[in-house]
C-alpha cells in the first residue's frame, strides 16, 4: 500500500516525465543521432556491461593529444548512454602510445585479464577507430570482455565528396541545404560539423572534399582558405583531412594570368604559391580534387595537354604534402563514340604517366551512377596508376531521398567483380581509396530519408573493409539506428537488401539506363530525344524502335565490350547465357527475344516492372508491421516516404510501359494492367521545382 506522501511523489515524478518526455523523445528520435545513438542496453547485455563496469584510462606513458581525448570522451559518453554504471570495477585501456594520427589507424581490441579490455595500436588514430569499433560492438549487445578485433583499413583514402556550393545549395542534394555555412565561417562553426566528424570517424572516413567538383575558383581565395582552416582544425582530432575541389582555370579566373596551361611556368608558379598559402594555414591539407574537361569544366585539354600533364602540374605544386585526385568522369562533345567507352579511351593510354601523388578517381560504372551498370572497365586496366572508386551516396538516379534504396548491394556488385586482371575491383583501388558523393545536408536527420543514413554508413564501412557483406552492414546499421529487437531486424534487414533491386526493376530493368527526366533526373522520360548532345538523351541509351531495344556494345555495335579482358567480356557476349540483369546494356534485341524465363523480352520487361512495384508494396507492408518497434516520429517519416515510393514506382512502370508500347505497337502481356494514363499525360508532366539541380 502506498502512503499519501509516496503517491504525491510518484505523481509528481510522472508529471515531470510527461512534461519532459515529448521533448526528449523528439530530440532523441528525430534521426540526428545517426549510428551514435547508443540506446540503453537491456537484459543480459546490460547485466554484462554492469558487471564489467569499466573506467576509461590511457596506458602508462601515453602522450596526450586531442585525438586520444576524443577517443576517451566518446567511450565515456557511449558507455554512459548504453547504461554503464558510474561505479567502476573494470577498465578499458587505451594503449596507443604515439601522439598524432599519422598512422593508418590499424587497431586491436583484446581482453587482458578478467576485467580489462585493451584497445591497442601505433598511434592515437588507432585508439580513435578502436573506441568507435568497441562502442559499435557494445551497441549491438555483444559481451564486452569477449570482444576481440584485429582490424586495419583496406585503403588509405576513405572519403566523402560534397557537391556543395558556396551559396549553400547542393548539386544533387536532397537533404536540405549545405552543412557548410561559408558565410558565417570562420567565426562561427556550427556544432553540426563536429557531430558530422564524429559520425565519420565512427565509420573510418578520413577525408572530405568540402565543395562541388563543378567548382568556382573563389574557393581558392584567401577568405575561403581561412574558413577551411577553421573546419580543418575542428576535424583534425577526428582524423579527417580536408580536400578542396579546384577549378583548373583558377590562375586565369582569380590569378590574373592570361593562361591556365599546365606547362606554362607562370601557371606552375601560381599553383605552387597557392599550395604554399594553403599549407601555411592547414599543414595537413589533403589536396585537390579536380573535374577537368568534363561537362564544360576547364582542363588541360583546353591547351592541347593531357590529363596527366594537368594532374602532374598540380601534384608538383602540392609536393609530398598532399594528393591530387583527378576524376576520370569525362565524355566529350566532339567524340561521337559510345559515351561508355570514352573515359577508358582517354585514360588507359596514360597509365604510368601520372605522378605517385596523383590518384585517378573512377565511377563505379562506365556511364553515370545508374541504378545498375557493369563495373567500369578502367578498374584493373591501369596497373601503374593509383585508382580510386567513386560511388554516389546521394541518390540522383535512384529516386532522391524519398525512395528507400540501400546501396551496399550496388557498391558490392562492383567491388566484388573480378576484373580478369588478377583481382577484384576492390583490389584495384587498394592503393587509392573510395570516395562517395555525400548525401548529407541540413535536414535534422542529415540525409532526408532515414534509411539514407544507411548509405552513408555503408559507404564508410565498405571503404574500411570491402569484404563486409551487405547483410552484415544492414544489420549493424539497423540495430544501432533503430533497435536491436530480433523480430525487427529479421523483417527490416531483408527489406533493405532487396530495396535496390526493386528500384532497378521499376526504373531501369534488364540493363536499361539513363531514362530519367532531363536535368533534374526525377521520374521517367524515355521519350526524350531532342537534346543537343546525343548522349544527353534517354533514346541514345535505350535505342528502342519497332524492331527491338537495347544498346549493342558487342563487336557489331560500339564494341565497348572489348574494353574488358576477354574472360570478363565472354560473360556478357552471348545474350542467351549471360546475366540478364545487364542484358540491354550490352545487346540490342528484338522484342520477341526469348529470355531465360521463357517469356519474350517484352513480357519479361513488363514482368520486371511489375515485380518492382510489388516489391515496394511489400516494403511498405513490412514497415507498417514495425510500428511497435520504432518511435512514432521516425516510423511516420519512413511510412510517408514509402507512400511516395509506391506512387512513383507505379508512375515509372506505367510511363515506361506506355512509351515502349508506343514504340513497339505490342499489346500488353497477358494479365498485365494497362497504364493508369496515356502517354501524353506522362510526357506533359514537368517538375521545374525538383531539388538538386
Ligand atoms: C557534379 C552527373 C551529374 C552532375 C555531376 C556529374 C559529375 O552528370 O548529373 O550533376 O556534376 O555527374 O559527376 O561530375
pLDDT tens digits, residue range 576-628? 999 999 999 999 999 999 999 999 999 999 999 999 999 999 999 999 999 99
For residue 291, report the distance from its CA to the centre of ligand 1, in Å: 10
Confidence band of 4 (pLDDT split at 50, 70, 90): very low
Residue 13 has pLDDT above 50, yes or no: no
Residue 24 has pLDDT above 80, yes or no: no
Contact 129, 108 (CB under 8 A): no
Report the distance separating Cα 568 and Cα 419, nearest Å.
7
Residue 26 has pLDDT above 80, yes or no: no
505: Cβ contacts below 8 Å, ≥ 6 apart: 608, 609, 611, 612, 613, 615
146: Cβ contacts below 8 Å, ≥ 6 apart: 111
For residue 693, report the distance from its CA to the centre of ligand 1, in Å: 10
Taking alpha carbons only, the member of 387, 342, 389, 350 closest to residue 366 is 342
Does the C-beta of 214 come closer than 6 Å to ligand 1? yes
How confident is the model over 514-540, as pLDDT tens digits? 999 999 999 999 999 999 999 999 999
Report the distance separating Cα 637 and Cα 620, nearest Å.
12
Does the C-beta of 522 come closer than 6 Å to ligand 1? no
Backbone angles phi, psi at 325, to 5 degrees: -105, 115
Question: 101 or 686, which is more confident?
Answer: 686
Pocket test for ligand 1, best of 161, 164, 169, 172 (most atoms within 8 A of CB): 172
Residue found under cell 601560381:
270
The per-residue pLDDT for 3 is 44
How confident is the model over 422-470, as pLDDT tens digits? 999 999 999 999 999 999 999 999 999 999 999 999 999 999 999 999 9
Question: Mean pLDDT across the chain, nearest whole number?
Answer: 95
The per-residue pLDDT for 27 is 39
The per-residue pLDDT for 346 is 97
Taking alpha carbons only, the member of 25, 20, 27, 1 closest to residue 12 is 20
pTM: 0.96
The per-residue pLDDT for 21 is 40
Q: Average of pLDDT values for 221-243?
A: 98
Pocket test for ligand 1, best of 329, 439, 535 (most atoms within 8 A of CB): 329
Print the SS3 string covering 231-251: HHHHHHHHCCEEEEECCCCHH
Report the distance separating Cα 660 and Cα 654, nearest Å.
10
Q: Average of pLDDT values for 331-339?
A: 90
Confidence band of 114 (pLDDT split at 50, 70, 90): confident
The per-residue pLDDT for 19 is 38
How would DSSP label each residue in 65-121?
A: -HHHHHHHHHHHHHHHHHT--SS--EEEEEE--B-SS-S---EEEEE-SSSEEEEE-
Does the C-beta of 171 come closer than 6 Å to ligand 1? yes
Report the distance separating Cα 207 and Cα 220, nearest Å.
18
The per-residue pLDDT for 12 is 39
The per-residue pLDDT for 6 is 45
For residue 159, report the distance from its CA to the centre of ligand 1, in Å: 17
* Catalytic residue list: 295, 368, 396
Residue 55 has pLDDT above 80, yes or no: yes
Q: Whose Cα sits closest to atom 11 in ligand 1?
A: 214
Does the C-beta of 233 come closer than 6 Å to ligand 1? no
For residue 52, report the distance from its CA to the centre of ligand 1, in Å: 50
Q: Whose Cα sits closest to atom 8 in ligand 1?
A: 368
Quote the percentage of the chain above a pLDDT of 70. Answer: 96
Q: Average of pLDDT values for 642-656?
A: 98
3-state secondary structure of 8: helix
Residue 266 has pLDDT above 90, yes or no: yes
For residue 157, report the distance from its CA to the centre of ligand 1, in Å: 21
Confidence band of 28 (pLDDT split at 50, 70, 90): low
Report the distance separating Cα 501 and Cα 541, nearest Å.
20
CA of residue 54 relative to chain centroid, distance: 35
The per-residue pLDDT for 9 is 42
Does the C-beta of 368 come closer than 6 Å to ligand 1? yes
Nearest atom of ligand 1 to the alpha carbon of 294? 14
Q: What share of the chain is helix, strand, coil (3-state, %, to 5)?
A: 45, 10, 45
Handedness of CA 356, 361, 367, 373 (dihedral sign): positive
Return left, alpha or beta for 500; rule: phi > 0 is left, psi -120 to 50 is alpha, else beta. Answer: alpha
For residue 368, report the distance from its CA to the centre of ligand 1, in Å: 8
Q: Average of pLDDT values for 36-60?
A: 97
Q: Which domains does the chain have, with CATH numbers?
A: 2-151 (3.30.379.10), 159-481 (3.20.20.80), 505-551+588-684 (3.90.1330.10)
Amino acid at each position: 500500500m502506498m502512503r499519501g506522501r509516496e503517491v504525491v511523489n510518484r505523481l509528481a515524478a510522472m508529471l515531470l516525465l510527461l512534461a519532459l518526455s515529448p521533448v526528449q523523445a523528439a530530440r532523441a528520435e528525430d534521426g540526428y543521432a545517426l549510428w551514435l545513438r547508443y540506446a540503453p542496453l537491456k537484459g543480459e547485455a546490460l547485466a554484462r556491461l554492469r558487471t564489467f563496469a569499466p573506467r576509461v584510462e590511457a596506458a602508462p606513458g601515453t602522450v596526450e593529444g586531442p585525438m586520444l581525448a576524443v577517443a576517451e570522451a566518446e567511450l565515456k559518453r557511449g558507455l554512459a548512454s548504453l547504461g554503464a554504471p558510474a561505479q567502476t570495477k573494470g577498465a578499458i585501456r587505451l594503449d596507443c602510445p604515439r601522439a598524432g594520427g599519422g598512422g593508418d589507424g590499424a587497431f586491436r581490441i583484446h581482453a587482458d585479464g578478467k576485467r580489462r579490455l585493451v584497445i591497442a595500436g601505433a598511434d592515437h588514430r588507432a585508439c580513435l577507430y578502436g573506441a568507435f569499433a568497441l562502442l559499435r560492438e557494445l551497441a549491438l549487445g555483444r559481451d564486452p570482455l569477449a570482444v576481440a578485433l584485429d582490424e586495419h583499413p583496406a585503403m588509405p583514402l576513405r572519403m566523402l565528396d560534397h557537391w556543395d556550393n558556396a551559396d549553400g545549395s547542393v548539386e544533387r542534394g536532397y537533404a536540405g541545404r549545405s552543412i557548410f555555412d561559408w558565410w558565417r565561417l570562420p567565426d562561427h562553426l556550427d556544432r553540426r560539423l563536429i557531430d558530422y566528424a564524429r559520425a565519420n570517424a565512427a565509420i573510418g572516413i578520413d577525408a572530405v572534399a568540402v565543395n562541388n567538383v563543378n567548382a568556382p575558383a573563389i574557393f581558392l581565395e584567401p577568405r575561403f582558405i581561412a574558413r577551411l582552416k577553421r573546419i580543418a582544425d575542428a576535424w583534425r582530432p577526428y582524423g579527417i583531412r580536408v580536400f578542396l575541389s579546384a577549378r583548373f582555370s583558377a590562375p586565369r579566373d582569380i590569378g590574373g594570368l592570361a593562361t591556365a596551361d599546365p606547362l606554362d611556368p607562370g601557371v606552375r608558379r601560381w599553383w605552387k604559391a597557392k599550395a604554399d598559402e594553403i599549407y601555411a594555414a592547414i599543414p595537413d591539407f589533403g589536396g585537390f580534387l579536380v573535374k577537368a574537361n568534363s561537362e564544360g569544366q576547364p582542363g588541360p585539354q583546353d591547351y592541347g595537354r593531357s590529363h596527366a600533364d594537368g594532374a602532374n602540374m598540380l601534384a608538383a605544386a602540392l609536393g609530398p604534402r598532399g594528393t591530387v585526385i583527378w576524376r576520370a568522369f569525362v565524355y566529350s562533345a566532339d567524340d561521337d563514340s559510345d559515351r561508355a567507352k570514352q573515359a577508358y579511351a582517354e585514360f588507359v593510354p596514360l597509365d604510368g604517366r601520372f605522378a605517385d601523388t596523383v590518384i585517378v578517381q573512377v565511377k563505379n560504372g562506365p556511364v553515370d551512377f545508374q541504378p545498375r551498370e557493369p563495373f567500369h572497365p578502367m578498374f584493373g586496366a591501369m596497373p601503374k596508376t593509383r585508382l580510386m572508386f567513386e560511388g554516389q551516396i546521394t541518390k540522383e538516379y535512384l529516386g532522391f531521398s524519398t525512395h528507400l534504396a540501400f546501396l551496399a548491394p550496388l557498391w558490392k556488385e562492383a567491388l566484388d567483380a573480378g576484373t580478369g586482371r588478377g583481382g577484384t575491383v576492390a583490389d584495384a583501388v587498394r592503393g587509392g581509396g573510395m570516395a562517395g558523393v555525400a548525401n548529407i545536408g541540413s535536414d535534422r536527420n542529415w540525409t532526408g530519408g532515414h534509411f539514407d543514413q544507411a548509405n552513408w554508413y555503408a559507404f564508410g564501412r565498405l571503404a574500411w573493409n570491402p569484404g563486409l557483406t551487405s547483410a552484415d552492414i544492414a544489420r549493424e546499421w539497423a540495430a544501432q539506428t533503430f533497435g536491436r529487437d530480433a523480430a525487427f531486424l529479421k523483417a527490416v534487414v531483408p527489406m533493405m537488401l532487396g530495396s535496390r533491386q526493386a528500384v532497378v526493376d521499376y526504373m531501369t530493368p534488364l540493363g536499361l539506363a539513363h531514362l530519367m527526366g532531363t536535368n533534374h533526373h526525377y521520374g521517367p522520360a524515355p521519350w526524350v530525344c531532342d537534346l543537343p548532345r546525343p548522349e544527353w538523351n534517354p533514346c541514345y541509351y535505350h535505342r528502342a524502335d519497332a524492331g527491338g531495344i537495347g544498346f549493342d556494345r558487342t563487336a557489331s555495335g560500339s564494341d565497348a565490350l572489348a574494353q574488358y579482358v576477354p574472360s570478363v567480356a565472354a560473360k556478357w557476349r552471348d545474350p542467351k547465357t549471360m546475366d540478364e540483369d545487364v542484358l540491354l546494356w550490352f545487346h540490342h534485341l528484338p522484342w520477341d527475344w526469348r529470355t531465360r524465363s521463357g517469356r519474350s523480352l517484352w513480357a519479361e520487361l513488363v514482368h520486371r516492372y511489375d515485380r518492382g512495384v510489388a516489391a515496394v508494396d511489400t516494403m511498405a507492408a513490412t514497415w507498417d508491421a514495425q510500428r511497435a518497434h520504432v518511435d512514432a516520429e521516425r516510423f511516420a517519416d519512413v511510412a510517408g516516404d514509402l507512400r511516395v515510393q509506391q506512387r512513383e514506382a507505379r508512375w515509372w512502370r506505367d510511363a515506361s510501359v506506355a512509351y515502349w508500347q508506343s514504340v513497339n505497337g505490342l499489346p500488353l502481356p497477358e494479365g498485365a494492367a494497362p497504364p493508369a494514363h496515356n502517354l501524353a499525360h506522362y510526357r506533359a508532366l514537368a517538375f521545374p521545382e525538383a531539388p538538386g539541380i
